[in-house]
Each structure stands twice: as structure tokens, then as C-alpha cells.
Chains A and B, each alone.
Chain A
Amino acid sequence: MRKVFTLLILCLAAFYTWAAFADLSFLSSTGRLGPGFFPRIIGVGLILASLFELTLESSRGREHVLASEHARTTLIVAGLTGLFVLSLDFLGGYLAMIAFLLASLTFLNRSRPVQNVLIAIVLPTVIFVMFEHWLNAALPRGMILPEWLV
């Protein structure tokens, strides 16, 4: 898996370096170091370091990456987090928090539905009050709840 990840970094580094050489000049119009100076060094360095690491990985042979029976759970939690972020603009901060907690606690804490519902209501309410009224920090408004309610 590390080889694949390093290969992915190599591809992104190649794209980054290409963009640095193609779009950004090494020297500015006044003869000073330009916007492409640092990115070119970083890009080339990243390519070389990734290639070196791939070579090392090949010489090391079979890698031992921690395998896990909980990969499915991890994927579902990450997926729920992604849906939570996606729903912020539509549902608004308050409703999205409730929905996320209900979904994730139902998945992780299946045997205690009452506890899950209580947490899903109380925690978002506390966070809402703390951020909106005390810290004056904006939460996403969403399109469902009327303006006066939030």
C-alpha cells in the first residue's frame, strides 16, 4: 500500500512540477527570483524523493502494512463524515449535526437508541448556542430552517 501511495504522490508531484515549469517563471520581469523558483525546487525534490522511496520499497520486498478487520467501519465513518460536510449547505449546521450524530451513533452504538437520540439533540444544541450566540461564529444557514429560527 505504501508503494501505491508513494506512486500517487509521484504522479501529483509530476503534475505540480509541470505546472511550475509551464506557468510560473523562474525569474520575474525585473530579474529577481520569480514565482516559479521555489515550486520548481519543491517539485523536482518531491519527484526525486518519491522515486528514491519507490526504489527502497522495491529492494525491501514485501511490505507489512497493518491489515484490519475494521476497514469497513472506517470507510463508513469517513463516508458519513463526507455526507455531513455535503449536507451543511443544504440542511444548515444545526440539522446537519443532528442528522450526522443520529446516523453515526445508530451505526456505532446500535444497542442504545435512546442515548443516541439524546446525544443527537443535546450536543448540537449546545454547540449551536456556543458558536452562534457566545462566540459569534457563523454556522451554515442551510435552506430548510427559516432565517428567524437560526
Chain B
Amino acid sequence: MDLFDNLWLGMSVVLTPTNMLLLMAGAMIGMIVGIVPGFGPSAGLAILLPMTFGMDPVGAVVMLAAIYYAAMYGGTITSILLNTPGESATVASTFDGYPLAQQGRAGPALVMQAVASFVGGTIGVILITLLAPLFSQVARSFGPPEYFLFAMMGLLLLVAMVGEHRTLGVISALIGFALGTVGVDLETGQQRFTFGSAELIGGIDFIPIAIGLFGLGEVFYSFYTGIHVSKSGSIVQYQKERRFWPEARDFVESRVAMIRGSLLGFVIGVLPGAGATIASLMSYSVEKSASKHPEKFGKGAMAGLVGPEAANNAASAGAMVPLLTLGIPGSASTAVLLAAFLLWGLRPGPLLMTQNPEFAWGLIASMYLGNVALLALNIFAIPLFVLMVRLPYRLLAPAVILVCTIGTYSVHASMIETWFMLAAGVVGFFMKLLGFSPAATLLALVLGPLAEEALRQSLTISRGSFAIFIERPTSLWIIVITVAILLLAPILRRFQAAG
């Protein structure tokens, strides 16, 4: 009963006209910010944080939480419509989302994405409410060996799914790892591969590479394949159906994927670090392994879109667990939220829920309501977004190049990053043309530094012994699960086919 009393307290705090207005405003702003290439939840939060100065703390955090969630929704829209992921967690949405748009099913894809995000976010919030203290204990048991294995698991699963050209997938991942080593070595402070350039000391950021590889690379590739002079002249290459709403089979195909993705996403999202990225990749891998038709993945399988979508939204909720219970931000976005909490004199941690219950439960209640608001907003806005894929490509492409370039520049006001974006665009074009995997490169760029730091810390702890990865029960479990997904799934599929 305590739980319901607390939730009721939270609801009563949020359900005021002012706070509801702030929630809706935050949702709309967050979605628009998320749609702009280069602006993900963390950049959006950092830029919009000053808007909340002078507001009541509860109202301000309701608005910021709405921006945080909504930016994730918005980032997926560009993944589906333009093959340009807004964040590393939305890369997996491009695998089947963009092919669906090309097949004239952008509307159903966006609706299913909104529903999956709603389901993932809602399940995530329910799990926070019920299990936050338990999950924070699990998170505390994770150390460097587990983080290393998790990062490697995410990459291995991706490379395994690349398809026939596994070697090209491995090469792509290694390129990403190599790019991730540029900058300053965290342990020794030594510069690596900077060649005396001050601009490279900070390393190579994810955003220009993502926008270049996926956004520009896709534009160049589309021109190369003649989309601009094709019969339709737009991204939609053939119109299977003109329906805006998904069909019954889409819901049937997706219902288990949504639940599975949500649970997986929340559990992984609790772990500080690249939780949402690994969660969405793992979900994609699990769905492909469990599917009776894995050959459809990568070509517009609805389960391949909704699983990762549910996972990354549930992971966004999961990332709140270490923040609220331990005061440790689980991601760049929650780090900005932590800064906001401290500004208002609030200290997230074990005592937050007892000392400021209206704040903590108000935040949780706003997540429930935020999910509902975003679902409604998305569904009303989707017809507008779908128009984008029907625009003549000769008009759309220059606009996409423009927004990608300006978006990349404006994140850090850096010309060097803009040049990186252009170079990545050229490389992305050739990668796509020749069968390499831009996704593996990008994800290795994100996970590589995490994996390296964790590996070095692990070997320092174990004094150089790799046995640490087997001696710790949690590490062993991660290895077993990875092997199970990689090896057992094809065997199970053969049994299914024979049966």
C-alpha cells in the first residue's frame, strides 16, 4: 500500500495545470530536438537546461525528464526515415526501420515504433517503481570485468548478425576500435594518434561519425543508385500499401518482441555506461535468433524494429535507477539531470526518496504521464513525418545534407568535426557499396574506449591474469549467455525447421 500511496503522492504533484503544461512542452521540444541530426537527449538537455532556471524544482525536473524521453523518440524518427541515427542506442532501429520506409511502410513503422517505445518506457517505469533498490544492488556488483564482457558481447552479436560478409564486419569493427583510440590515454595521459593536433586531443566524437557514415553516406549511396531519377523519385521505392496504421499482423509479430525488449532493456539499462546501446543490439540479436524467419531481418522485419525500440526506451528508464538510488548517473543524459538536481539543492541517492518524496515520486509519476503524452504526440505527428519520405529526393537530399552539416557543427562549434563528418560520409558510401558494416564501425567507436578501460582495469586487478573473467560468477554468466545466443540459436532454428 505504501507503493500506491507514494505513486498517488507523485501523481498529485504532477497533475497540476502548470506541471502538465511543462510536461507537454518538454515532450514537444524534446521530440523536435531529437529529430535534428546531431542533437540527442544529452545535447538537448544541456542546451535546454537554462530554460528551467527560475522554475519550481518539481516543474523543472518534470520538463527535463520529458525532454530526455522525447529526444529518444525523436532520434528514432530519423533512424527510420533517413537512416541517420540520433544516438548510438538508435543505430539498431536503422537495420529494419529504414527498409520499411523504403517499402512505403514508413507510417506503420513509425506507429509501431511509438507503441514499442511507449510499452518499453512504461514497463521500465513500472520496474523502477517496484524494483529500484534490488536493481541498484545488482548494478553495484558489476565491475570492470563485467563491463568489458558486456561491451564485447554487444559487438560480437552485431558482427555475428552482419550476414555473409563476417570478415568485412570484423574489419569494420576494428576500424571503429582504431578510431576510438585517438586522443588521450586515460590512464597515462599520453596522447595517441593525435600527430600534434590540438583538435584531436579530445578524441573523435560519435556524432560526426554517425551523421557522416549513416546520413551523408546514405545520401551519396542513394544518388549512386539513382533514387532521384527512379519511378517514384523518392525514398519510397515501391508502394506495398498506402496504409498509415499498422496491420493486425504487425501487432501479432511484435507483441512478444516488445515485452522481451522492454525487460532486457531495463535490466541492461540499469548498468552505468553504454546500457541503451548494448540493450538495443542485444534485443535485435535475440529477436533475430528467436524468429521463425530470421532471413527477413535487415529487410523490413517489424520485430527487428520494435524489439530494439522497446529496449532502448526501457533502458532510458533503467538508467534512472543508479541516478535515483545511488546518485550515480548512468549515461550522459542522466549526468545532465544530476547537474540539474544539484542546482536545485537536491541530492540523489538512498535518502532522496525519504527526504524529498514529492520530488522523487513526482519524477516517477511524470515518466508514466510523459509516455502517454509522447504516444499521443507521436501518432498525431506521424503523418507529417511520413510526408518526408514522399518528397522528391532531389529536393530532400540537399536539405538533409544541410541539416546534417549544420547540426554537426553546432554541437561543439567545431569545424574539424564537420570535416570528420564529411570524411565519414565518403567512407560510409564506400562501406555501403562494398558490403562493409558502418553500424559495426560506429558501435565499436562507442564501445571500444569502454572496453579498453574495463579490460585494463580488470587485468590490473587480477595482476595480468585473464582468469578473472571466469572466476567471477557474473562474468561467467555473461560469457555463457553470449555463447548461448551465438551458438545455440542456429541449432534451435534447425530443430524448428526440421519439426
Q: B403's closest neighbor in chain A, by CB? A: A127
Interface residues of A in 80-126 (CB under 8 A from B): 81-82, 84-85, 88-89, 93, 97, 100-101, 104-105, 108-109, 119, 123-124
Specify which of A53, A66, A81 is in contact with B171 (CB 8 Å cutoff). Answer: A53
Instruction: Decide: A70 and B223 in contact? CB cutoff 8 A.
Output: yes
Instruction: Decide: A119 and B401 in contact? CB cutoff 8 A.
Output: no
Instruction: Decide: B178 and A46 in contact? CB cutoff 8 A.
Output: yes
* Residue A21 CB within 8 A of the other chain: no
How many positions in chain B have a CB within 8 Å of any CB in the partner chain?
62
- Please measure, in the bound complex, the distance between the C-alpha atom of A34 and the C-alpha atom of B136, giving whole angstroms: 32
- Please measure, in the bound complex, the distance between the C-alpha atom of A37 and the C-alpha atom of B181, giving whole angstroms: 11
Residues of A within 8 A of B224 (CB): 66, 68, 70-71, 74
Residues of A within 8 A of B39 (CB): 135
Instruction: Decide: A137 and B410 in contact? CB cutoff 8 A.
Output: yes
Q: B193's closest neighbor in chain A, by CB? A: A19
* Residue B225 CB within 8 A of the other chain: yes
* Residue B330 CB within 8 A of the other chain: no
Give chain B nearest CB distance to A149 CB in angstroms: 18
* Residue B487 CB within 8 A of the other chain: no
Instruction: Decide: A85 and B426 in contact? CB cutoff 8 A.
Output: no
Residues of B within 8 A of A33 (CB): 187, 455-456, 459-460
- Please measure, in the bound complex, the distance between the C-alpha atom of A88 and the C-alpha atom of B421, giving whole angstroms: 14
Give chain A nearest CB distance to B132 CB in angstroms: 33
* Residue A28 CB within 8 A of the other chain: yes
Residues of A within 8 A of B50 (CB): 136
Q: How would residues 62 to 86 of chain A score, 1 for a CB under 8 Å from any chain B CB and 0 otherwise?
A: 0001101111011001100110110
Instruction: Decide: A97 and B402 in contact? CB cutoff 8 A.
Output: yes
Residues of B within 8 A of A69 (CB): 226
- Please measure, in the bound complex, the distance between the C-alpha atom of A13 and the C-alpha atom of B402, giving whole angstroms: 32
Residues of B within 8 A of A119 (CB): 395, 399
Q: A81's closest neighbor in chain B, by CB? A: B401
Specify which of B171, B228, B413 is in contact with A108 (CB 8 Å cutoff). Answer: B228
Contact A77 to B452, CB < 8 A, known contacts A35-B192, A49-B174: no
Of B367-375, B428-436, B465-473, B489-497, which binds chain A?
Answer: B428-436
A and B contact pairs by CB, cutoff 8 A, 8 listed = A28-B188, A49-B170, A70-B223, A74-B223, A97-B402, A100-B398, A104-B397, A108-B395
Inter-chain pairs besides A33-B456, A70-B223, 11 sampled, C-beta below 8 Å: A2-B434, A74-B223, A81-B405, A85-B415, A88-B405, A88-B409, A88-B415, A88-B418, A93-B409, A104-B397, A109-B392
